[in-house]
Amino acid sequence: MSTSPSFSAYKKSPYRSIKHNTYFSVYDHLFSKFRNKKIVFIEIGVLAGGSLFMWRNFFGSKARIIGVDMNPDAKKWEKYGFEIFIGSQSDENFWRNFREKIGKIDIVLDDGGHTYDQQIITTEMLLENIKDGGLLVIEDTHTSYMKGFGATKYSFINYTKNMIDKINRRFSKLSDDKNEKRIWSIEIFESIVAFCVNKKHSSLVSEPTDNGGKNDNSIDYRYEDNQAIKDLEYINKFLKYIPGFKFIIKQLKFFLLKVNSKSKIFFR
């Protein structure tokens, strides 16, 4: 940790900040490319002000550092050159107003109240304003496995899984109006989820392409590792001309793949 730029920025902060020791390598990994740039950085959760100074140390003087907290005392940090907004991250109207004032954002880091509603509403309300190449990072996502932060069914991690499904719906055969068109990719760390925003890449519907090279008609060995399916293929060779038989074989294949799952032991 001694060589971590975010950790040394944290230690240099004159005011108290509380961060988990595993977060500094994640901050370095995600945020390094934004250092010394003219960026707009928002942190939800100001508390004792220490992380505002940490981010100023880390990103440099060109960065606009904006803190959001429900506690009106946080306004006192404005005299140090930070912008402070007072309101609740679970209040959609607060965010509408905020978006109008702030405009486009490079990074959002949510270290606020950590309930699922707070994390999800913040994400849904701010994604739209994040620039292509920007990040929305939610920390302390371990609360999704704990009591006291909301309904487990609607936890932030379940929301993230739903988001993965919506990203994969960009595949042409699955495509529908639920496709995710803002988040290009998701990086998941212990207790941190980072949404990488790129509306340009995310709006492309996935279609197969062909480079037009010479085809040597190679056989696809996809099912060669499954003896039961190989047996079915063998029977199919002789009986495929019987009407409806091909369809039955296909359904049997799908069934066998399902019930003979070798990988289910890895879902523990």
Ligand X SMILES: C[S@@+](CC[C@H](N)C(=O)[O-])C[C@H]1O[C@@H](n2cnc3c(N)ncnc32)[C@H](O)[C@@H]1O
Whole-angstrom Cα distance, residue 201 to residue 80?
38
Among residues 118 and 202, whose Cβ is nearest to ligand X?
Answer: 118
Among residues 17 and 143, whose Cβ is nearest to ligand X?
Answer: 17
Single-letter residue type at 236: N
Using CB under 6 A, which of the segments 23-31, 38-46, 210-218, 257-265 binds ligand X? 38-46
Sign of the CA dihedral with 73 first, then 76, 78, and 80 last: negative
Least distance (Å) between residue 200 CB and ligand X: 31
Whole-angstrom Cα distance, residue 191 to residue 143?
8
**Residue 134 found at the interface with ligand X (CB under 6 A):** no
Among residues 55 and 184, whose Cβ is nearest to ligand X?
Answer: 55
**Residue 6 found at the interface with ligand X (CB under 6 A):** no
Whole-angstrom Cα distance, residue 40 to residue 55?
11
Whole-angstrom Cα distance, residue 88 to residue 118?
8
Q: Which of 52, 88, 51 is nearest to 72 (CA)?
A: 88
Closest residue to bound ligand X by CB:
113
Least distance (Å) between residue 73 CB and ligand X: 9
**Residue 152 found at the interface with ligand X (CB under 6 A):** no
One of 42, 56, 112, 135 touching ligand X (CB under 6 A): 112
Least distance (Å) between residue 31 CB and ligand X: 14
**Residue 118 found at the interface with ligand X (CB under 6 A):** yes
Whole-angstrom Cα distance, residue 96 to residue 125?
7
**Residue 160 found at the interface with ligand X (CB under 6 A):** no
Binding letters toward ligand X, positions 63-102, x by CB under 6 A: -----xxxx----------------xxx------------
Beta strands of the chain (E only): which ranges?
Answer: 40-44, 64-69, 83-86, 105-110, 130-139, 183-189, 192-197
Tokens of 192: 């941190």
Q: How many residues bind ligand X (CB under 6 A)?
A: 21
Q: Which of 51, 59, 80 is nearest to 5 (CA)?
A: 59
CB 65 within 8 A of CB 55: yes
One of 111, 116, 125, 169 touching ligand X (CB under 6 A): 111
Among residues 91 and 132, whose Cβ is nearest to ligand X?
Answer: 91
Q: Rule CB under 6 A: which residues touch ligand X?
A: 17-19, 43-47, 50-51, 68-71, 88-90, 111-113, 118
